Structure 1
Amino acid sequence: MIDAMLLPFQRRLLDPAAHTLARKGVTADQLTLAGFGLGLLAIPALAFGLYGVALVFILLNRLADGLDGAVARLTTPTDRGAFLDIALDFAFYALVPVGFALASPDQNALPAAVLIAAFVGTGSSFLAFAVIAGQRGLRPEAYPSKGIYYLGGLTEGAETIALFIAMCLLPGLFPVLAYLFSAACLITTLTRWWQGWQAFADEPD
């Protein structure tokens, strides 16, 4: 919901580091893969109840996710990079609830499953819209630098990261937070279905 508003601030914050990394020959794909690897380390940390450690890895993952796009804009953005970025992002989002489920199966398994299902709804509607929009040559005005059509909604990247931070700081509230965010994801999915139904009602010229 607020990703577009945060983009200018994010770019001002990350551009100096991105320039340094680009000068040193670090590529956007390397940052994407490194960030995903760091994010994976959050899962065993969560499973063992090391929520502070997990939060550090989650934040490092998100930092790398911001830097890979900034470096790509300074060098040569590629379709492969755009694919890798979004594919690993969605995998990371789905794996974090698994870590909480492993930490406390009796308490967290069901809400984690519901949250993952909610992520499938938001992710599949996002990607399905992007595929058709790409075939029609559409570009999102709010996200002109994105490698694929970026369809907004009530639950976007910023809200998801805020959720993960809250879960790590208040792990006992994981079920409540998971169910509340799942409801918000349902709204996002339904609105994206409606947007797709409306946007693609007519065949392109």
Structure 2
Amino acid sequence: MSIAGSPESVYHRRMVDEELRRAAKPLYRPLARALADRGVTADALTLAGLGIGLLCLGAIAAGHNLPALVLWLLNRLLDGLDGEVARLRKESREFGTFMDIVADFLIYGGFLVALAIQHPDARLALLVLFLAYYLNGCVFLALSSILERLRAERRTERGLHFRRSLTEGFETIVAGSLFLIFPAHVSLIAWVFATMVFVSAAQRVLDGRRMLERG
């Protein structure tokens, strides 16, 4: 299935997350190499990141936003380091990629639940954002699975077929940080970000339709 020159070819460009990951690699690669040289495995980093993420959720629910912000950023750092360590150690990452995605979904969803505990008045907006996450995740995983089977796209560094869309991992990090820095505006941030995530889901649905109809 050739897509060169078609409207879908825009999705062959590197997604924002990959571009940022490549740009930041000179900054975090020395740390990844130091960890790899000391025998730290990628799976260990994934589990450590999950543990830190769960601590972050507890801090949010308890209303301790500053510690939660530090833990959130550390969780996201480890999420980037595990893949780099795997490459440096030449580890197989099929199961690791699976666990990485599971951990991300758990932390992303739990983040909203923790915010809802801290901000009862913002629960409607957070619930809508949770729905947007759910829809976008379902579309992403379903389309990735089909494209993997059809061998229609290249892989990104994370091992799954990501598509360029309005909201990706970087935007989620920014949104999470904004929630913690501006607690008085949680509802507004949630409504705005939910709209962006719904747009992302629609982008992927339309892209999937074009791609699969051509297949």
TM-score of the superposed pair, with normalisation by structure 2:
0.89
**Identity across the alignment (%):** 37
Q: Write out aligned runs for 1:1-205 (5 A).
A: 2-75=16-89, 76-105=91-120, 107-140=121-154, 143=156, 145-203=157-215
Given the superposition, is the C-alpha separation of residues 36 and 167 from structure 1 closer, same or farther in structure 2, using an over 3 Å criterion?
same
Following superposition, the deviation at residue 150 of structure 1 comes to 1.6
Shift of 1:202: 4.2
Residues 176-195 of structure 1, C-alpha deviations (whole Å, 9 max, x = no match): 00000000011100010011
CA shift for structure 1 position 11: 1.5
Aligned length: 200
One-letter code aligned to 2:101: I
Q: Describe the superposition over 1:93-140 as per-residue Cα deviations: whole angstroms up to 9, x where unpaired.
A: 1111111110121x1211111111111111111111110111122343
Give the letter for the 1:56 counterpart: V
- Structure 2: how far apart are the matches of 1:121 and 1:157? 16
Residue 74 of structure 1 deviates from its aligned partner by 1.1
Quick check: 1:140–1:151 contact (8 Å CA) kept in 2?
no
Separation in structure 1 between the aligned mates of residue 68 and residue 59 of structure 2, nearest angstrom: 5
Q: Report deviation, 1:146.
A: 2.5
Structure 2: which 5+ runs fail to align?
1-14
Using the TM superposition, give the Cα deviation of residue 43 of structure 1 relative to its aligned residue in structure 2, in angstroms: 1.4
Query: TM-score, normalization: structure 1?
Result: 0.93
1:6-62 residue CA offsets vs partner (Å, 9 max, x unmatched): 121222121101111111111111101110110111112111211001111111110
Distance in 2, matches of 1:72 and 1:196, equals 30
Cα deviations by residue, 1:126-160 (Å, 9 ceiling, x for unpaired): 1111101111223437x3x2311122210000000
After TM superposition, where is structure 1 displaced by more than 6 Å over at least 4 residues in a row?
Answer: none
Output one character per residue of 1:60-113: Cα deviation in whole Å (capped at 9) or x when no partner.
1101101001101112232101111111111111111111110121x1211111
Q: State the partner residue of 2:9.
A: none
